[in-house]
Structure 1
């Protein structure tokens, strides 16, 4: 299967590292013009350099904006008023006991993980509908279904994204615009690698070995029995953005390594 996205413009939020960067690189390799986003100009420029090194013919540029705030979304919209593909990837995570999470953290997680995608989808989808073609992907998580006891506030936001994406797909019925959610499982992003670093050093392991130990200890239902790579997750996102995925909408697409122990 050859995915061709020449002539399409894609925005990938939170794309200076991890799954977002891998997705931006994959879309650029498929020929799309890609808008990279991060909170700082330094991070954005570094990501642009990485993409250009991997895809020398890439058409990419960056917008520095904090999408956890309405003003940041307005900055992105001013820089890029329209797009064909929107990947709502930006998100934050981190373990914290429920009884220690203040209201401000619940609000922060919701603003970054949910409202960024809501605001941008509200802004960009009408243009997609007018041209009768568009792709929107929300990055949910297996934690939307397997709510982590140590990250309840995170799990809540990822479940919310399933509701938003499914409802929005219905709202866009018949327009040629598809809306889907992708649910990664444990993935070896830079953030996860940093979280595993201390355990790996203490056990005399590589980060990959520590990741496998983490999966077996904390996600024992995993069929894959290891962390996924960011490129493995990005491959599914790029497909969901492609012309070939035209009949896939309103779906929760799992790339969770089989962690979620259901057949539907």
Structure 2
């Protein structure tokens, strides 16, 4: 088994992909050195940030400027990163992002690989929750202070020491840790976000089109329409129906109001 521990340093944060050193350590599954710690220097072809130049840069500017540029080491770096059975870094997101930007800068294809994030792995355990950063985690887990800090090969060696201590104290093999903590494996090329599916044009047009009123059977069939009219004409009026059922009483002759007793008597005799 080949395990690659690596780290990178950048000249200027405002220049994406301005890598000036790539440090690494190569071991087997028992953490025996297969290749000693190595620091590959390269010319970033940009101005160094003042803070980097004063506090981080472990070499003279002339030494770095005289080195070859990134394309000269591209094949070597790709073979190291993609050829290892397990790549390990501490908070490697910045490193993988810088690697992608450097490839884009020089029109090269970014290498695709997975890297175990030691910072994320250490947070999975309840041990040493107070430890922060690479040096803090190494001091907590290894009881040692890492040397050559902010030099790529020195940080790569410190990452190896930290991973070895975690494996020993948790009694787990490197392969087992990579399987158990798969969520700590970071892809060098992040997956593209899923696009939202747009509704089909046919369904969209159906939703937008106004609903048409359907004509009734009477409106579409003239025979049925005329039949309804005839039925309405035959239907008798409510008032007429009442008169037919209940015939009116015959009118009684009006009795004169000023009829005398004699007239009444004569009327009776006449009858």
**TM-score higher than 0.5 here?**
no
Q: Which structure has the larger Rg over C-alpha atoms? A: 2
> Which TM class, normalised by the smaller chain length?
under 0.3
TM score, norm. by length of structure 1: 0.26
